[in-house]
């Protein structure tokens, strides 16, 4: 087992290195965005003097490299910094009350996004695995074709389009779910779930195809192997062959794909959150980009990157653990 | 001439008149219930600090719901007292004495008085403060507490509009000595007190009992404003009945809203205007004949029809709109006339004119299209406009006030003087046509005299003359005034006259509307 531990530690170290590189990319890319915070916040009132004074207040007049290391140092200490908008407004009166650090600003939003991701996962994962199994079972039938067409169509459509289609059918024509997902703190759980239903269903449609097709392919791949033939020759029902014999061995690739899609549920929600006015991290991200609030944008990017890297790492480790050949590389 | 919606408005007006004659109630005044509105212009960086407010969500939440100012502009455009009961000016309009309302309390129980006024106004000129209302307060040379309920302001220069300026949505009254808590928790004297406020997400407030404005206004028990910046999401929320009212409807989908019998559309023409500004100290715009040639080369009605899709009114090259007290409505309308364009070009000694026009949709939605329409219409008069599409980022710092001819939007100002002294007074930073004595000495002279003129008949004469000067010689083309268009569920009743100074009944729906 020591071997496995080494592999995991190696992977973690690699993950950290990736994160460091990503942080450089984020920092440079965000700072390359045209326009700047001072201009965005001042709008028509952006006179050179006013811009210079805001930039001085926020340290934007420092060279890029200095700012990067200041930021990185802060992040390592767990300090994501202060949002420009908050810093700017705090300087109006010296008010420091209210949520002033980015961490405080992001925490509730991140919680909301995680909530949405969990609801979506609770619907999407069983749904796509069952669909995948059924498609494998009835492969090349009308059912299989229909499932494939449906899921491929939904993954190929832009998210906002799927969202509007769902709004049209489930909120406007048949008012089953609300089109506005403005959940807030203190809202009862059941109401929260109901309000989050449409964004969750939209995300489900987006992630289903990948997981379902992987399940189907992995199972079909195994169906040609001798031990499945053996099981069939024993006279087991096709369903039993698939669920009991094929599925456990197909789990590695399936888990891999599930982990990747979970990462997508956290990082890919931006458009969906905006369409449904869901107060998650995606919406915060869009608002911050709009006003060029660089520290918040960077923090959001970093969170997205961490989530992606961590879930990828999980996927990697899971497939290593479930595959002895990877566990003992030559 | 102004499209179906205005006719529709007139018709409803007429119908209301008939109802009035027959003695039927014009609208029900139901107390209680809840107003849920989906509003744009919200930000995660929003706070109750009036100095930072610039868009509808916070203006409606603070100015329209939780806080009060000294004065208030009524829906019909007249000025009335809010926290001030009355006011009087010295003959030179330099000294203003405000008598404050007595027996008013803040939501935390503190009594309202002169100290609150002085401290709340001083916030705007505090060291390092960046308030949009700073010039208003900076013009006050002395604030004196006469009694607990009387404040005297001495201005540097006479200003007859001073009480109007006190209605500005930045100048909210906070409790003295507790301004920080006031900003953190939203403690005002308004009709509703804050229950919860999640910046960029939502604001909930409930009716404050025994309010000084009495029982005839602020009829809801509770109001909830939901931040919906996305146009389509806002419309969906209204269509599915999750909100009762939304601001800024998307003109492209307006027909769908009109087709819904449960909804109605409110449309008012205010002072919001879209312009093309020329820097008059640059050739060829320093020649008044070139400016006139351009004035006749623009097809204003076409712009209202195609850029605003009919939701607006043609402009007459003055920034003073229908929501202004001294709006010169009878002034002869500038019409599209390529022959006159050619004539004025000849007067300027030119056969044709080649100029660049800078536009970006940051200036206003459809600015690039508008510039292209202008290009097409001006060509007939011998003017060759070259439309330069500028990047939206940095438009206000790199293009506006820098490029000689650019597209601009103005939300307008409540008073003539405020508008003129923001953008037409010689030497002010936002003077986007470099309009000064060299262009019209008379205009600058009138600007100063009208400011301190307390006789409104004389003032009207002066402002009419200024509008005429701008129409004839001005360096800013004002082809259109854009309407405020909003939609309301019929569950909510609103008065027949809706304010046109700002969106959503001057952002005061919580005060003026009720459950039908």
pLDDT one-digit tens code per residue, A44-64: 566 667 777 777 777 777 788
Q: In this structure, are strands B353-359 and B383-389 parallel, antiparallel, or unpaired?
A: parallel
Closest residue on chain A to B231 (Cα) = A275
| In contact, B226 and B243? CB cutoff 8 Å | yes
Beta-carbon separation of A291 and B43 below 8 A? yes
Distance from CA of A172 to the nearest CA of B (A): 6
Of B39, B44, B401, B402, which to mutate for an interface test with A (greatest number of A Cβ within 10 Å)? B44
- HSE-CB for A116 with a 13 A CA cutoff: 37
Q: How far is CA B375 from CA B224, B285, B323, B384, in A?
A: 46, 17, 30, 7
Chain pair A-B, CB pairs under 8 angstroms: 131
Residue A17 to residue A14: CA distance in whole angstroms = 5
| Model pLDDT for residues B241-272, shown as the tens digit of each residue | 899 999 988 887 888 889 999 999 999 988 99
Residue A1's pLDDT band, with cuts at 50, 70 and 90, is: low
Same fold, B68-189 and B271-483: no
Q: Is A174 on the interface with B (CB under 8 A)?
A: no
Position A99 pLDDT exceeds 70: no
- Residue A96 is predicted with a pLDDT of 42
Q: Which residues of B touch A288 (CB under 8 A)?
A: 44
Q: What token pair was written down for B158?
A: 């006479």
Which residues of chain A neighbour B397 with C-beta distances below 8 Å?
39, 46-48, 51
User: From the candidates A95, A194, A278, which should be mutated to test the interface with B, based on the most B CB atoms within 10 A?
Assistant: A95
* A147: number of Cβ within 10 Å: 22
| Cβ-Cβ contacts under 8 Å, A34 against chain B | 391, 393-394
Residue A269 has pLDDT above 90, yes or no: no
How far lies B191's CA from each of A330, B29, B62, B513, in Å?
76, 17, 11, 13
Q: How far apart are CA B257 and CA A252, in angstroms?
A: 51
Token pair of A81, please?
Answer: 């910094």
Encode chain B (516 residues) as per-residue pLDDT tens digits.
333 444 444 344 343 333 333 333 445 578 899 999 999 988 877 889 888 888 899 999 999 999 999 999 998 888 999 999 999 999 999 999 999 999 999 999 999 999 999 999 999 888 777 777 888 899 999 999 999 999 999 999 899 999 999 999 999 999 999 998 999 899 999 999 999 998 888 999 999 998 999 988 999 999 999 999 888 889 889 988 899 999 988 887 888 889 999 999 999 988 999 999 999 988 899 999 999 999 999 999 999 999 999 999 999 999 998 888 899 999 999 999 999 999 999 999 998 899 999 999 888 888 999 999 999 999 999 999 999 998 876 787 778 888 899 999 898 888 899 899 889 998 887 888 999 988 899 999 999 999 989 998 999 999 999 999 999 999 999 999 999 999 999 999 999 889 888 899 999 999 999 998
Q: In this complex, do B233 and A279 lie within 8 Å of one another by their Cβ atoms?
A: no
Give residue limits of the domains in chain A: 1-100+295-330, 107-290
β-partners of residue B152 are: B97, B144
What residues pair up with A25 in beta bridges, in sequence order? none
Across the interface, of A51, A92, A276, the residue whose CB is closest to B129 is: A92
Which residues of chain B does A275 touch, with a Cβ-Cβ cutoff of 8 Å?
A: 230, 232-233
B200/A287 Cβ within 8 A: yes
| Cα–Cα distance, A112 to A118 (Å, whole number) | 10
User: Is A107-290 a CATH 1.20.58.220 domain?
Assistant: no
- Element spanning A314, H or E: helix A294-321
Domain-wise residue ranges, chain B? 1-25, 68-189, 271-483
Is the Cβ pair A275, B49 closer than 8 Å? no
Mean pLDDT of A277-304: 86
**Closest Cα in chain A, distance from residue B500 (Å):** 22
Flag if B45 and A274 touch (Cβ within 8 Å): no
What is the per-residue pLDDT for B343? 94
Query: Residue A53 burial (CB < 10 Å; 0-12/13-18/19+)?
Result: middle
CATH of B68-189, one of 3.90.1300.10, 3.90.420.10, 3.40.640.10, 3.90.76.10: 3.90.76.10
Q: Which among A93, A180, A185 has CB closest to B179? A: A93
Inspect the interface and report whether the beta carbons of A180 and B226 lie closer than 8 Å.
Answer: yes
Answer whether A172 sits within 8 Å of B240, measured CB to CB.
yes
Quote the minimal CA–CA distance from A82 to chain B in Å.
11
d(CA B166, CA B318): 24
Compute the average pLDDT of residues A316-323.
77
Give the pairing type, strands B245-246 and B34-39: parallel
Task: Of A73-82, A85-94, A124-133, give the range with the top mean pLDDT.
Answer: A124-133
* Comparison of pLDDT for A8 and A82, the residue scoring more: A8
Q: Does A189 touch chain B (CB under 8 A)?
A: no
State the complex-level ipTM.
0.81
Question: What was the pLDDT predicted at A32?
Answer: 78
- Residue A233: is its pLDDT beyond 60? yes
Residue numbers in B near A185 (CB within 8 A): 198
- In angstroms, the CA B319 to CA B474 distance is 11
Mean pLDDT of A113-139: 93
CATH class of residue range B271-483? alpha beta
Question: Is A179 close to B44, i.e. CB distance below 8 A?
Answer: no
| Residue A202: per-residue pLDDT | 94
CA-closest candidate to residue B390, choices B373, B404, B374, B411: B404
Q: CA of A185: which chain B residue's CA is closest?
A: B198
Are A287 and B229 in contact (CB < 8 Å)? yes
CA A303 to chain centre: 10
């Amino acid at each position: 087992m020591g071997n496995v531990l080494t592999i995991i530690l190696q992977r973690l170290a690699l993950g950290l290195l990736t994160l460091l590189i990503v942080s450089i990319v984020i920092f440079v890319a965000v700072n390359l965005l045209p326009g700047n915070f001072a201009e965005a916040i001042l709008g028509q009132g952006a006179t050179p003097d006013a811009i210079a004074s805001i930039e001085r207040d926020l340290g934007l007049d420092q060279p890029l490299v200095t700012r990067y290391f200041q930021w990185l140092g802060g992040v390592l200490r767990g300090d994501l910094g202060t949002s420009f908008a908050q810093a700017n407004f705090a300087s109006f009166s010296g008010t420091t009350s209210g949520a002033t650090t980015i961490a405080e600003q992001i925490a509730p939003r991140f919680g909301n996004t995680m909530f949405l991701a969990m609801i979506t996962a609770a619907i999407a994962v069983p749904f796509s695995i069952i669909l995948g199994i059924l498609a494998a079972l009835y492969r090349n039938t009308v059912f299989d074709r229909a499932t494939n067409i449906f899921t491929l169509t939904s993954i190929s459509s832009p998210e906002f389009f799927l969202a509007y289609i769902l709004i049209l059918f489930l909120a406007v024509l048949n008012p089953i779910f609300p089109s506005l997902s403005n959940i807030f703190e203190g809202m009862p759980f059941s109401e929260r779930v109901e309000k989050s239903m449409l964004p969750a269903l939209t995300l489900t449609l987006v992630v289903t195809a990948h997981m379902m097709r992987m399940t189907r392919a992995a199972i079909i791949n195994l169906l040609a192997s001798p031990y499945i033939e053996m099981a069939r020759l024993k006279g087991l029902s096709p369903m039993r062959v698939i669920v009991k014999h094929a599925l456990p061995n197909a789990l590695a690739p399936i888990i891999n794909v599930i982990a990747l899609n979970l990462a997508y549920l956290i990082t890919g929600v931006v458009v969906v959150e905006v369409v449904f006015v869901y107060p998650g991290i995606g919406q915060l991200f869009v608002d911050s980009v709009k006003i060029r609030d660089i520290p918040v944008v960077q923090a959001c990017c970093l969170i997205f990157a961490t989530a992606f890297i961590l879930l990828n790492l999980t996927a990697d480790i899971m497939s290593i653990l479930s595959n002895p050949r990877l566990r003992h590389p030559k | 001439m102004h499209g179906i919606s205005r006719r529709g408005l007139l018709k409803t007006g007429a119908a209301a008149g008939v109802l009035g004659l027959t003695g039927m109630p014009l609208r029900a005044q139901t107390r209680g219930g809840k107003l849920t509105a989906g509003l744009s212009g919200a930000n995660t960086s929003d706070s109750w600090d009036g100095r930072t407010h610039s868009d509808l969500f916070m203006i409606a939440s603070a100015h329209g719901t939780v806080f009060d100012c000294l004065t208030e502009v009524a829906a019909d455009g007249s000025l009335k007292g809010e926290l001030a009961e009355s006011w009087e000016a010295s003959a030179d309009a330099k000294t203003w004495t405000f008598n404050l309302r007595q027996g008013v309390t803040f939501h935390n129980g503190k009594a309202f008085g002169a100290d609150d006024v002085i401290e709340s106004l001083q916030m705007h000129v505090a060291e390092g403060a960046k308030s949009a209302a700073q010039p208003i307060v900076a013009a006050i040379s002395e604030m004196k507490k006469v009694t607990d309920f009387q404040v005297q302001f001495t201005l540097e220069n006479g200003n007859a509009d001073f009480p109007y300026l006190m209605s500005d949505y930045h100048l909210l009254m906070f409790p003295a000595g507790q301004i920080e808590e006031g900003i953190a928790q939203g403690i005002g004297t308004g009709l509703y007190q804050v229950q919860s406020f999640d910046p960029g997400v939502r604001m909930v407030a409930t009716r404050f009992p025994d309010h000084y404005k009495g029982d005839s206004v602020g009829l809801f028990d509770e109001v909830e404003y939901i931040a919906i910046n996305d146009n389509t999401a806002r419309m969906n929320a209204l269509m599915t009945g999750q909100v009762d009212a939304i601001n800024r409807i998307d003109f492209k989908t307006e027909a769908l809203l009109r087709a819904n019998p449960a909804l109605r559309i409110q449309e008012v023409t205010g002072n919001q205007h879209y312009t093309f500004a020329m820097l008059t100290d640059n050739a060829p715009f320093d020649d008044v004949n070139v400016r006139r040639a351009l004035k006749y080369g623009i097809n204003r009605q076409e712009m209202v029809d195609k850029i605003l899709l009919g939701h607006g009114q043609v402009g007459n090259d003055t920034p003073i709109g229908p929501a202004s007290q001294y709006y010169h409505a009878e002034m002869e309308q500038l019409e599209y006339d390529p022959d006159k364009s050619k004539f004025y070009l000849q007067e300027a000694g030119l056969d044709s004119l080649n100029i660049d026009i800078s536009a970006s949709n940051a200036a206003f939605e459809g600015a690039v299209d508008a510039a292209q329409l202008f290009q097409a219409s001006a060509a007939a008069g011998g003017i060759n406009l070259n439309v330069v599409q500028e990047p939206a980022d940095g438009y206000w710092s790199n293009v506006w006030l820098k490029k000689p001819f650019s597209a601009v939007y103005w939300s307008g100002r409540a008073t003539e003087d405020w508008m003129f002294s923001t953008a037409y007074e010689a030497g002010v930073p936002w003077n986007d046509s470099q309009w000064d004595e060299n262009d019209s000495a008379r205009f600058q002279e009138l600007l100063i005299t009208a400011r301190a003129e307390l006789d409104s008949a004389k003032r009207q004469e002066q402002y009419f003359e200024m509008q005429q000067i701008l129409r004839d010689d001005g360096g800013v083309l004002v082809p259109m005034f854009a309407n405020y268009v909003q939609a309301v569920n019929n569950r909510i009743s609103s008065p027949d006259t809706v304010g046109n100074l700002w969106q959503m009944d001057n952002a005061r729906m919580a005060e003026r509307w009720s459950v039908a």
